[in-house]
Amino acid sequence: MRLWPFLFFFRFCLYYMRFFFFYFFYLFCFFYFFGFILRKFYSTNNASRFNLLFNFFSFWFLNFFPFLLFWFFLFLLYLFFL
């Protein structure tokens, strides 16, 4: 059984991973960041604006950091096989 079709397909996937990586990464960052900011500032609870920084950073690192870690290791995998 020849391996070159699988290697060619894997190289093809690695070549196009750079476009999908940056496209989806910036898209998720845009909607995640601005959706959180709009939900915080346009909510009816005015007291939440005073501890906005603490809420934002706690929400960012608890919910979005594993997602960033996943894309980071995917990017390291891409650099390793480049």
Could you read off the pLDDT of 32-47 as tens digits, one per residue?
777 676 666 666 565 5
Does the pLDDT value for residue 48 go beyond 60? no
What confidence score (pLDDT) does residue 70 get? 81
| pTM for the predicted model, two decimal places | 0.30
**Cβ distance 47 to 63 under 8 Å?**
no
Residue 68: pLDDT band with limits 50, 70, 90: confident
How far, in Å, CA of 37 to CA of 56, rounded? 8
d(CA 14, CA 6): 12
All structural domains of the chain with their residue ranges: 4-80
Residue 34 to residue 38: CA distance in whole angstroms: 6
Residue 62: its pLDDT value, please? 62
Per DSSP, helices labelled H in 1-82 are 4-41, 52-59, 65-80
Give every CB contact of residue 25 below 8 A, 6+ residues apart in sequence: 71
56 vs 25: which has the higher pLDDT: 25
Structure token digits, residue 62: 């608890």
* pLDDT at position 63: 66
CA–CA distance from 25 to each of 10, 31, 45 (Å)?
Answer: 21, 10, 31
In this prediction, residue 27 carries a pLDDT of 73
